[in-house]
Amino acid sequence: MTSSSPLTLTRRTLFGAAAACAALAAIGRGHKASAAQALLNVSYDPTRELYADINHAFAAKWASTHGGSALAVRTSNGGSGAQARSVLEGAPADVVTLGLAYDVDMLAAHGLLPTNWQTRLPHNSTPFTSTIVFLTRKGNPKGIHGWADLVRDGVQVVTPNPKTSGGARWNYLAAWGWALRQPGGTEDTARAYLKSLFAHVPVLDAGARGATNSFVQRGLGDVLLAWEDEALLAARDLGPDKFDIVVPDLTILAEPPVALVDKNVDAHGTREAAQAYLEFLYTPEAQKIGAKHYFRPVDPTVAAESASIFPAVKTFDIASLGGWTAVQKKHFASGGVFDQIYSK
Amino acid sequence: MNALASSSPDSARRSPAEIALIAAAYAIVGLMLVLPPVLVFTEALRSGLGAALASITDPDALSAIKLTLEMTVAAVVINTSFGVLAGWLLAKYRFPGRGVLVALIEIPISVSPVVAGLVWLLLFGTQGWWGEALNRVGITIAFATPGILLATLFVTFPFVTRTLLPLMEQQGRDAEEAATLLGASFWRILWGVTLPEARWALLSGVLLTTARAMGEFGAVSVVSGHIPGLTETMPLHIETLYNGYQSVAAFSMAALLAIMATATVGMRSLFEARIRREEPRKAETAGGGA
């Protein structure tokens, strides 16, 4: 008799647990429905301060043009690749503002937005550009002036993991493009250079901000390969007496794109607000906010006004390396050049 | 055993090796366990108590605290209910596969929390087995509260059962059999006979569940989507603040979490002491009964 009761018991338990789960799922649904007048911007790592300001400015503008109705814009930050992966797995992004076009292409390939997304907004859907520079300790004690100095003995280089971080991929490609363009440069010499470079990297953080933290707050390494905005933030705002910026003679033009996630805005009913948000990024107001946070504005007037903020750089673009799809496949896919040079 | 060792009155004549060992134990505990919280509080109060308190009352911070408390309460209620029934079943009955069940319940302790989070994504992510289908009927699990709850439930699954099981096994089933013969219903036996005996162990398990649920980072991080003000629990919000160069806010939140966890663990230590005091008495009664 006693041995039959535990069986009914477990069935009851299971039923109870199922009911509890269903109830909680319902709560989850309720949460989402009540948050209809909100936008989620899933972004890459170093844009925390930028989008905090832009969200604020946009909410004010939205309220003034929509009879004072409140619109909360939230931003989630992380490594570009990891963030794209979250959106692919269902993170409810209305817009993505990622570190590189390939991550958005990946979402387009899975049907979250049309594959021609980059033609829907001006400047290849890129409201701000950036580039890759070096951040060194104050006074540049290791005498680092260009890419060649990074692979000298005793130099430790901090850069995040190109598998998860958009910034890290730009870092890697800046180094690759520079090595290719050296006298006598070939793919073999570029490969050898990168192998030597990554032998100088003590840790691979998952995202750009993690790498900046390793360098700035934990004091790791001699030189940080970083987004220009990240480096300027550290050098000018976090520790003017602690860091120097070094601009290499040649680097890459980084174009972190923005895009509307059609599948999600249609599900949330937020297309109008999301589109307005992205268009707002191109207005002089937002462009100035960008320049303030060391993102290079694409608006010519604002760019001219803020020219003094940014060092002069000589750059090549991703197209000169064959475009993201080819670059991704060749370098960062499983077994690609990065895996080869990093594992050996 | 412990009580015997600590009360042995040979403190007057300690060998140098013994003294060195005790000193090393204090040094290691100081370095590994005392220093980190001290640093957390120092960093939190770097700009004064006012700044620390202000950072905790920021809307995103409040939302993180609220979500953490909600998830903790839900996880404790669900896992306590399950844990009591599972502990009862496993302690009082012998059936085929019992050993396998005992081993399975321990899985969350050995599996990395990141893997635990990824499993839920594999099931409930839109690229996962059931995510797309559930989405179509309007149910969102991943990157929303239910996913965070599932992750928390998974990592706190074994604690109540694990603390209850040894005690319930030790109790045997005589009392329950007597109650059954007297005509008590199943629930009456559970509430009236089994649980009162195990109440301190149960509380200890509940508090362990609470501490773990509040502090869980890895599993929750995978399924959360890190949306400030929406799906960030306290541990995740601490990381976001730290990455945003808001050290004072990050460490203030960490200090609050540490206080909550310490209170929980402190209560648990009290109950553990209570259990230890009750056990000898029970052993006596059991011995007298036999």
- In whole angstroms, what is the distance from residue A174 CA to residue A177 CA? 5
Q: Would you say A53 and A289 are in contact if contact means Cβ atoms under 8 Å apart?
A: yes
- CA of A178 vs chain B CAs: smallest distance (Å): 30
Please tell me the predicted confidence (pLDDT) of residue A112: 96
pLDDT band (50, 70, 90) for residue B198: confident
Residues A107-141 have pLDDT tens digits of 999 999 999 999 999 999 999 999 999 999 999 99
CA distance A75 to chain B (A): 7
Q: What's residue A336's pLDDT?
A: 93
Contact, A58 vs A97, CB < 8 A? no
The pLDDT of B221-226, averaged and rounded, is: 92
Q: Which residues pair with A136 in a beta bridge?
A: A223, A244
Contact A2 B177 (CB under 8 A): yes
Which residues in chain B touch residue A269, judged by CB atoms under 8 angstroms apart?
none
**How far off is chain A from B127, nearest CA to CA, in Å?**
5
Which one is predicted more confidently, B126 or A109?
A109
Q: Strands A95-97 and A38-43, how do they pair?
A: parallel
Per the CB < 8 A criterion, the answer to whether A230 and A185 are in contact is no
Q: What angle do CA A239, A245, A248 make, to 5 degrees?
A: 165
User: Domain A35-126+256-282 belongs to what topology?
Assistant: D-Maltodextrin-Binding Protein; domain 2 (3.40.190)
Query: Would you say residue A102 has pLDDT above 90?
Result: yes
Three-state SS string over A247-263 comes to: CCCCEEEECCCEEECHH
Please check whether residue A32 touches B, CB under 8 A. Answer: yes
Confidence band (pLDDT; 50, 70, 90) for B283? Answer: low
Window A:82-141, CB contacts with B under 8 Å? 86, 88-92, 110
CA dist A47 and A50 (Å) reads 5
Residues paired with A133 in a beta bridge: A226
Contact B95 A24 (CB under 8 A): no
Q: Which of B81, B140, B186 sits opposite A28 (nearest CB)?
A: B140
The C-alpha atoms of residue A215 and residue A238 are separated, in whole angstroms, by: 12
Which residues of chain A lie closer than 8 angstroms to B92, CB-CB? 6
Is A37 near chain B, with CB under 8 Å?
A: no
Q: What is the reported pLDDT for B2?
A: 46
Tokens of A321: 């390396």
Number of neighbours of residue A9 by Cβ within 10 angstroms: 18
Size of interface A-B (CB pairs under 8 A): 109
CA-nearest residue to A264 within chain B is B135
Q: How many CA atoms lie within 13 A of A83 on its CB side?
A: 32
Cα separation, B178 vs B58, whole angstroms: 57
Cβ-defined contact of A92 to B177 (cutoff 8 Å): no
Cβ <8 Å between A13 and B95: no
Question: Contact at 8 Å (CB) between A328 and A334?
Answer: no
Domain spans in chain A, listed from the N-terminal domain onward? 2-31, 35-126+256-282, 129-254+314-343
Residues of B in contact with A28 (CB under 8 A): 139-141, 144-146
In the predicted model, what is the mean pLDDT of chain B? 87
pLDDT at A268 > cutoff 60 = yes
Between CA B247 and CA B238 the distance in angstroms is: 9
Residue A91 Cα, gap to closest chain B Cα (Å): 5
Nearest to A43 by CA among A211, A226, A258, A206: A258
Mean pLDDT, residues B212-239 = 93
- Assess A18–B contact: CB distance below 8 Å, yes or no: no
> In this complex, which of B74, B82, B228 lies closest to A24 when CB atoms are compared?
B74
CB-CB neighbors (< 8 A) of B149 in chain A? 24
Please state, in angstroms and rounded to a whole number, the distance separating the CA atoms of residues A185 and A175: 12
Predicted confidence (pLDDT) at residue B250 exceeds the cutoff of 50: yes
The predicted structure's pLDDT at residue A7 = 39
- Helix then strand then coil, in percent of chain B rounded to 5, is 80, 0, 20
Chain-chain contact of B140 with A2 (C-beta, under 8 angstroms): no
Tell me the per-residue pLDDT of A237-258, one tens digit each, with 9 for 90 and over.
Answer: 888 889 999 999 999 999 999 9
Helix (H), strand (E) counts: chain A: 15, 11
CA distance linking residue B254 with residue B256, whole number of Å:
5
Q: Supply the mean pLDDT for chain A.
A: 88
- The pLDDT tens digits of the residues spanning A314-341 come to 999 999 999 999 999 999 999 999 999 9
Contact B144 A28 (CB under 8 A): yes
Distance CA A197, CA A210 (A): 19
Specify the pLDDT at position B276. 74
Q: Are A138 and A241 in contact (CB under 8 A)?
A: yes
On whether any CB of chain B is under 8 Å from the CB of A1, the answer is yes
For residue A21, the chain B residues in CB contact (below 8 A) are 146
Across the range B50-74, mean pLDDT stands at: 94
Percent of chain A with pLDDT over 70: 89
The domains of chain B, with CATH numbers, are: 49-284 (1.10.3720.10)
Same CATH fold, A129-254+314-343 and A35-126+256-282? yes
- Give the 3-state secondary structure of residue A214: helix
Identify the CA nearest to A28 among candidates B263, B149, B266, B66.
B149
Does residue A134 contact residue A246 with C-beta atoms inside 8 Å? yes
Under DSSP, the state recorded for A68 is: T
Interface residue ranges in chain B relative to chain A, Cβ cutoff 8 Å: 74, 78, 81-82, 85-86, 88-89, 92-93, 95, 121, 124-128, 131, 135, 138-146, 149, 176-177, 180, 186, 225-230, 240, 242-245
Given this model, what pLDDT does residue A99 score? 92
Q: Which residues of A touch B177 (CB under 8 A)?
A: 2
Report the chain B residue with the minimal C-alpha distance to residue A208.
B243
Separation CA B92–CA B166 (nearest Å):
11
Of A20, A31, A90, nearest to B126 by CB-CB distance is A90
In A218-335, DSSP assigns E strands to 223-227, 243-246, 251-254, 258-260, 296-297, 315-316
Query: CB distance from A218 to chain B under 8 Å?
Result: no
What is the Cα Rg of chain B in Å? 23
- pLDDT-based confidence at A66, cuts 50/70/90? confident
Of A40, A89, A90, which is closest to B227 when you measure between CB atoms?
A: A40
Tell me the helices (H) and strands (E) count for chain B, helix number first. Answer: 17, 0
Length of chain A equals 344
The correct CATH number of A129-254+314-343 out of 3.30.465.10, 3.10.450.50, 3.40.50.360, 3.40.190.10 is 3.40.190.10
- What is the reported pTM? 0.82
